[in-house]
Structure 1
Amino acid sequence: MRTARRRPVTLFSAAALAATLLAGCGASSADYEGSDAIAPDSDVAYSELASEEMAGGAALDYAAEGQSVPMDEQVIRRGDASVTVDDPYTALTVLAEKVAEMGGNVSYSSQWTTGDHPRAEATVRVPADQLDALLAWLPDLGKVEQQSTSSEDVTLEVTDLRARIGALETSIDRLKALMSDAETIADLIEAEGMLTQRQSELDSLNSMLTYYTDQVALSTLTVSFTTSADAPGPSLSWGESWQSFLNSLLWLLNMLIYALPWLIVVGLGIVAWRLVRRSRKRGAIRSEHVIDLTSD
């Protein structure tokens, strides 16, 4: 009887112990699988993101996110004009003052004389909406001999630059996030290298965009000033004629100086040739005289 009672208890204890061990193993297996599921996924996510940055995937993500760049019209306007005035230097000063009133500036100016005729030229930049007004004002300075304008549409270039700049900025932000989450030195070095490359590209694109923006905002106009005295005038005066005569004499004197050595050589050659010729004639006369005496 005692033996029969102990056997069920022993079997029950063994079953309970086995259940406990199985439960513990199941929990450990679950914890192990959960840790494996998290760590590899983190490494894979970093690797995929780094590869995407290296392949330029940030630009695609930027477009996929639906970020749009406004397609406003971007036009660069340029012009040039030639004006006949009484005093080019004064006209240049007045032009600079007018441009300053319009909110522009003089980027280049020059003054010189051709003979006795003064001339001047200036390249000015004014707000794009003031270019037509400045061209209409030029007749107030003098007679406009020539005038032309040109336009260059750079809308596509500016839009493309803005989109690429936005993509690079997004890429740089993601690379900075990668660097903050990097767990190894290799990952950090890789992210820093890509960040440096992206930043260099961003600086270059920003410089190009700044240039286009400046050219669109301020139009360029080049103005040349001449005088009516530039046209052919009357015949030379007595003073100018006398000066021309003296210049001609000076030119002849210089030519004579340059030719003098050659003239000396040629003169000596002629003298030597004549002396030789005279000596031969004397020899011939003497020979004839001797022949005559012999015959007699």
Structure 2
Amino acid sequence: MGNIKVLLSWGLIILLLISCGNDSAPEMGYDAPEAAEMMAEQPYMSKAAIGREGEEAADAESSTIIPEQSGQQRMLIQRASLQGEIGEYDPWFSQLQELVRRQKGFIVNSVTRQTYEDARSGNITIRVPQDGFEAMLGALKISFSQIESEQISGDDVTEEFYDLSARLDNQRKAEQRLQEILRAAKNVKEILEVERELTRVRENIERMEGRKRYLQDQVSLSTIEVSWHEPYPIMSGTRGRGFWGTIARGFEQGLRGFADVLSGLIAFLIAGFPVYAFIIAAGWGLVRLYRRARGPKKAVKASATKDNK
């Protein structure tokens, strides 16, 4: 009996193991074909959509802003504007050209205007290397007789520059991957899709390279805008900043306003002279005709009065 119980126990254990194996077998049989199907679909997707996937991956990588590291150089665009009164223009401009040459800069444009008061004025745009910006600005201040306005501004483009560099690197990597896919393309449809993506990536690269060159140019060369004018003839020597200087400027502005009104009136009279001459001549002619018409009537009345007497 003991042996029979042992055999029955082992038989039950074997049956339980077989039933467990049968229950788990369908699951394995279901997963295996599904995995095979997924593996079969993967090569097709990589051929048809790898260009888009590669580009999306590049865009995702490029959307990440690269934090500034301690080894990165700060990119700062410096600008300044200066307005004021100078002495005589010709020697001042010669001095300005010498200052620009010393700082290894150049003059972008120069505009000179002649006013009715024989006092010239104008604008000058100067580009100088970044390391000579402060020296050039200080020398310009000294060359002015009086500074009327001054403004200095800076634009920090460090984050934009290095983020743009990272985006550009990612786009170039995407271009290399697309070129490899293009060489491995099997049919015309795949070739056209890859070439379309490759064209778009190259356009992005060209645009980013242009923006990067622009930032490098703006950072390496600072811009100074100069607005100048010669002393005005009227009371130019007494125009200070104190009480009497304010009175002198007010008196000068009053004289300028009177001169403007007087010159406008003279111009109006000169421009309308033919019309005025015609009106005067017509009026004088009408008066003469009227007098001639009244002459005979007066004579008739006078003779009639004498006859009545």
Normalised by the size of structure 2, how large is the TM-score? Answer: 0.62
Contact 1:122–1:223, Cα closer than 8 Å, also in 2: yes
**Which residue pairs with 2:279 in the alignment?**
262
- Which residue is 1:48 aligned to? 49
Match of 2:170 in 1: 167
1:117 and 2:119 are equivalent in the alignment: yes
Instruction: Kindly indicate whether residue 243 of structure 2 is the aligned counterpart of residue 226 of structure 1.
Output: no
Partners of 1:202 and 1:69 lie apart in 2 by: 22
- Structure 1 residue aligned with 2:5: none
Quote the Cα distance in structure 1 between the aligned partners of 2:171 and 2:81: 39
In 1, the alpha carbon distance for the partners of 2:270 and 2:85 equals 42
Distance in 2 separating the partners of 1:216 and 1:151? 10
> Any stretches of 5+ residues in structure 2 without a counterpart?
1-36, 238-261
Residues 141-152 of structure 1: matches in 2 within 5 Å? 141-146=143-148, 147-152=150-155
The residue type paired with residue 57 of structure 1 is A
5+ unaligned residues in a row in structure 1: which ranges? 1-35, 235-244
**Cα offset for 1:280?**
9.3
| Aligned 1:213-252 pairs, distance under 5 A | 213-232=216-235, 252=269
Does the 8 A contact of 1:138 with 1:144 survive in 2? no
Superposition RMSD in Å: 3.9
Q: Which moved more, 1:132-141 or 1:111-120?
A: 111-120
* Match of residue 94 from structure 1: 95
Matching of residue 104 in structure 1 with residue 93 in structure 2: no
What CA deviation, in whole Å up to 9, does each residue of 1:228-253 have, x standing for no partner?
3455369xxxxxxxxxx9x9889756
- For residues 59 and 152 of structure 1, the distance between their equivalents in structure 2, rounded to whole angstroms, comes to 27
Matches within 5 A, 1:13-32: none
Indicate the percent of aligned positions where both proteins have the same amino acid. 21
Deviates more, 1:203-212 or 1:105-114: 105-114
- TM-score between both structures, scaled by the size of structure 1: 0.64
What is the CA-CA distance between 1:182 and the residue it aligns to? 0.7
Matched residues, number:
240
Aligned to 1:205: 208
Q: How far is 1:100 from its partner?
A: 2.1
Residue of structure 1 equivalent to 2:181: 178
Tell me which amino acid in the other structure corresponds to 1:255: G
List per-residue Cα deviations over 1:18-69 (Å, max 9, x = no partner): xxxxxxxxxxxxxxxxxx9998643332223123145x322225679x9887
Which residue number in structure 2 is paired with residue 58 of structure 1? 58
